[in-house]
A and B are shown apart, each in its own frame.
Chain A
Amino acid sequence: DAGITQSPRYKITETGRQVTLMCHQTWSHSYMFWYRQDLGHGLRLIYYSAAADITDKGEVPDGYVVSRSKTENFPLTLESATRSQTSVYFCASSEALGLGVLHFGNGTRLTVT
């Protein structure tokens, strides 16, 4: 089925561990985004990508790494997880001329203990 899928849906990890959240879209959208959702903060942009091999920082990039070797995949890696990174993470995609219409995955709930 066409769409945007995130995996895993739930993840528990320990402080200091590396963890990677996966995002895959089947629309061949140019743009992809990673947001985190926290109570009182709404959604904050972590990283985004305008095309394969083009990525840039968002509002809260510290402690995160992204890559985009293929148009359809946009993994987010926490290099050394901290408790402050406990959050719900959303991946989204949009067409180049989508004028702000983002298509979101169902999220990954990450808990760092």
Chain B
Amino acid sequence: AQSVAQPEDQVNVAEGNPLTVKCTYSVSGNPYLFWYVQYPNRGLQFLLKYITGDNLVKGSYGFEAEFNKSQTSFHLKKPSALVSDSALYFCAVRDGTGFQKLVFGTGTRLLVSP
């Protein structure tokens, strides 16, 4: 079964510093990987996805993610964090049945301090 793991419940970073939110995955076949963000009292919003192609994927709000097949990782990154980036981040993998179902990780809370 497809799964993702987010090993950190929370990541703290100072504004202006680079940030990384970690995700590792386990899939059979080719991985379809995603990052979503959730702001308080809101639903999740799509940030970026990796389907195929370049290992570095660029997404919304200046975020990017690096796909590493040998390490089965898909870490979310941003060169310079903003206080407004503080939110809950979810990594997800497409279910292997071929439908649109996603399997989500448990989420990582990002706190960016001024």
Contacts and interface: CB of A to CB of B under 8 A. Distances in A.
B104 A43 contact: yes
B49 interface: yes
B43 A45 contact: no
A99 B51 contact: yes
Interface stretch (B63-71, B78-86, B94-102): B94-102
Among A33, A35, A41, A102, which residue has the most Cβ atoms of chain B within 10 A?
Answer: A102
B106 A94 contact: no
Contacts of B106: 40-42
Interface size class of B (residues with CB under 8 A): 20 to 34
Contact of A42 (B34, B90, B100): B90
Contact of B43 (A42, A48, A105): A105
A102 B44 contact: yes
A99 B49 contact: yes
Interface size class of A (residues with CB under 8 A): 20 to 34
A105 B38 CA distance: 11
A28 interface: no
B42 A106 contact: yes
A42 B49 contact: no
A91 B89 CA distance: 18
Contacts of B36: 102
Tell me whether chain A's interface is mostly helix, strand or loop, or mixed: strand
Nearest to A91: B43
Nearest to B43: A104
Interface string B32-45: 10101000011111
Contacts of B43: 4, 90, 92, 104-107
Contacts of A33: 100-101
A33 B99 CA distance: 11
A88 B26 CA distance: 27
Interface of A: 4, 31, 33, 35, 40-45, 48, 50, 58, 90, 92, 94, 96, 98-107
Interface of B: 32, 34, 36, 41-46, 49, 51, 90, 92, 94, 99-107
